[in-house]
Structures are given as C-alpha cells and as structure tokens.
Structure 1
C-alpha cells in the first residue's frame, strides 16, 4: 500500500487506493489471480473488494476469465501496460531495426490484450510498397499472423474460455469461423512455430517471443507486398531471418530453450 503524506491524509480516497493496489498486484510473473488470492494479498475480505473488482472489470481495467482476473485492455490504453512493456520494446527495438535493414520489410512487435493484438513497436520500411501498422493499433488476434502466434500461449480450454462470447463468423476468410476451427488452427500454429498470412496483396510472417519463464510474451512479424514475398525462396529466407531474430530477443529476455535438438 502507498502511504500518503501526513498533510494529505484527509484527502485520501480509500476505494481508489484499494483499486490501484489491486492493479499493482499484476506483473510479468503474476498474470491472473482469483478474488480469494487478491483478498489475501491485500489482507482484506473478499466482500471488501468485490465491488472494486466489478467496477474495474466494467471499466476495462480487468478481464474476468472463469474465476480469475487479469489486466484488461484499458490498462494498456491508459499507459500502465505501456510502462510495463518498455523492457520488451527496448530489447526488441534494435533487433527489429536490424531485421528491417536486412530485408527492407516492415517489422512489428505486438502483445495480446484479451482477443486483440496490440501493436507496441514498428520498424518502418521506407518503400513505396510496404506494410506499416501504427503503434497502438488493435487487430483481432485470430485475423493476423502475429495475433495467431500470441494465441499459441493458450491451450484449448483457455481459448474456449476467452472466445466463449466472441462471434467469429463476422470475419472474412481465411479467419476461422468457429471455435473448434480456431482451436485446431492454433494447435497447428503452435506446433509449426510460425505463421504465414496473406491478405490485401500483402504477406506477413510471424513468430513468438518468449520471456525468462518460457511463456509467450509477445510476437513479431515481417510484412511486405506479395511482389516482394512471392519470388522463389524469398519467404523461406525471410522466415529464417525472423526466427533468428526471435531467438535473439528471447535470449536477451532471459529465455533458455531446453528443447532437445531435432
């Protein structure tokens, strides 16, 4: 808890202080908490924080998945997650800039916020035919290469919980139109380790970034016009460079790949 200065104690708003304390419980290691766990960490009763959790969820600062809460999209849009994400942006930036310079293709970095892929950084490709998505853009995860890779962090049960109230049949092909189709697609994406997605005369190749715990914490991509991506061998070369970049960023974040070599 933040201790107020003595001269300001009369102006303290207890409910606001408690709400901010709830948000402060979440970090890179603690991504989801039940109401009982939140109450125990704040040393209060569950009834004392129930209305605060309902309010934070209603305003978008928290998401409720089954019996657990996680940080919501509003936290990012108001700047909290931006600050929390600075480490990964700072680590990824020089690698994505270098990848952009080697390929002359746009590179992007995103994280998942509920069912959206939130773009945190772009390495701008200054070409006439280029794909440049502005920082702060949100796109439905199941419609993009990076978004699909972000969803590989979730197993079938968690995907089902996340999308139980989300309509998928409003999106054009090749986006999945049903939950089973989405779950099958993400299982294949996870096993493959990368995604190629084509739309509107452009192609994107994406893969994941792992943090020091081994969790999928972000995704990166290379994207460009089909005219650049289609020549024989081009996609394979770009994919190799993207995976190398992902491995470098993940290592700097503390990730150690313990999988046996093929």
Structure 2
C-alpha cells in the first residue's frame, strides 16, 4: 500500500539553506534597501552564524553586495536575471491581443521578438492556420543579421554599438542575402534605420518587420508579418500588409508609452 503524502512528508524534501537564501532575497523591497547580517538572522529567528555562509554565497554569486561596513543590498545579478524576463513578459502581455487581431485581419503569421546579443529571441507568435504559412516556435533564436525581425532590432544600435557587437563575429558563414562583412552589415542596418521597417525574403517566404518603441522612444522589440511569396510578392499586397503592420506597431508602442503615440 502506497503511503499518502502529507505536508509533513513533503517538508522532508525541502532544502533549508536554499529556503533561507530565497527568504533573505525576499526581505529586500522598495522600503528595505539594505540589511545587516544580524537583521537578517533576527528576521529568520536564527543566529548570525547560521546565515553567514548563505549570505557569503549570495555575495559571491552577485545576488547580494556589500553596502557599507556591515550592511548588504541586492546585487546586480538579481536585476540581470529578472529584468529581461519581466520586461519581455510585459511586452508579450501588451502585444498579444494586437498581434492576434493582426493575424485575423491578414491571415498571416505574426511574431514578436527581442534582441539578446546577436540573436533574435522569439517571444510570441500568432499562428495562422493555413497552408504554407510561416510559424516560428516561441523560444527560437535566429541570427539578427539574417532576419527581418533581427535587422529591425539591430537598427536600435548606433554605428559604434553595432561595430562593437559584431567585431568578433564571423558573418561569411551565412548565405545571401545576409551581409557577409561588417561594412555591409553597417550599410544595411543604416538603411533599415532610416526606412523604419525591413522586408526580407527566404525559403519561398517573405517577412515584413518593424520596431516596437518604449516610453523613451527606443526600439525594444520587433514584430512581423510573414507568409508565402505567392501571397506577399506583389507591391500592392506589401503596401497593404505594411500599413496594417504599422497600425499595430503604433498601438503596441502607445501602450508602452512611446512619445507622440499615446
């Protein structure tokens, strides 16, 4: 006969040190910016020696940092781990209904991505259930310089930032129409930045992408419409889809507080 799990039995699987470490991180908030080791121990109802190794481990990993002689505050690793996720989650939640509506209006797939170094990370897709449709799974990473979404994301960088990002990256391993040298990439992104949108063809499909701007006016994400060449090849169709994409971009950017769009 199998034993029934009880709260007491489940407690046997807990890791006290991990539990204390997470509890310590949770002690900090907008009102409590710093704490001494004695204050942490007091809140945990344990001795300072019981939290010493935990605090030192958190310091070594960057989750806590010294604030004066005897106090500690949250370290940069907390922000590094959490910022991209939280910001991306907000963008997804804001963009989702607009991308779904755009998908329904155009019968084309829509994607949302952000840049992580030289890669475009796909955060959301509005699936278009038709033959020959283009649907990139969420979580996919593609090189920025070889996709419409990625090139839009790179347009947020100035020439110096773009050069620094790609100074040690080989570009000649990618097939055309991707740029094969840094000067080619700089010229291409300069044109994209001036135009404000990118059209890219690959593998019998076409994608049109543009940028999502935040309250500072900076491009923080990109959205696209993508579909088979047979649907998107004519100039009239491209103009229609670009107009619809621009309307959606403005609506999402306005929700993020982009200047002049609220």
- Bucket of the pairwise TM-score, normalised by the shorter protein: 0.7 to 0.9
Are 2:225 and 1:222 equivalent residues in the alignment?
A: yes
Equivalent residue number for residue 131 of structure 1: 134
> 1:12 — aligned with what?
54
Paired residue for 1:145? 148
Offset, 1:21: 3.2
> Could you say which structure has the larger radius of gyration?
2
TM-score by length of 2: 0.75
Q: 1:29-50, CA deviations, whole angstroms, 9 ceiling, x for partnerless residues?
A: xxxxxxxxxx8xx6479xxxxx
Corresponding position of 2:125: 122
CA 1:44–1:85 in structure 2 vs 1: closer, same or farther (change >3 Å)? Answer: farther
Q: CA deviation at 1:13?
A: 4.2
Query: Cα deviation per residue 1:144-192 (whole Å; 9 max; x = unaligned)?
Result: 0000000011111001110111000110001011111101111100000
TM-score by length of 1: 0.75
Count of aligned pairs: 214
Give the 3-state SS of the residue equivalent to 1:198 in structure 2: strand
Aligned counterpart, 1:205: 208
* CA deviation string 1:51-81 (max 9, x = no partner): x99xx8xxxx9xxxxxxxx95xxx5xxx863
1:250, CA displacement in angstroms?
A: 0.3
- Written as runs of structure 1 = structure 2, the 5 A alignment for 1:1-262 is 2=25, 3=27, 4=40, 5-7=44-46, 9-10=51-52, 12-17=54-59, 19-21=61-63, 43=67, 71=80, 75=81, 81-257=84-260
SS at structure 2 position matched to 1:12: helix
- How far did 1:11 drift? 5.3
* Deviation (angstroms), 1:84: 3.2
Q: Distance in 1 between matches of 2:197 and 2:160?
A: 22
Unaligned runs of 5+ in 1: 23-38, 46-51, 62-69
Counterpart CA distance in 1 for 2:199 and 2:205 is 11
Superposition CA RMSD, Å: 2.6
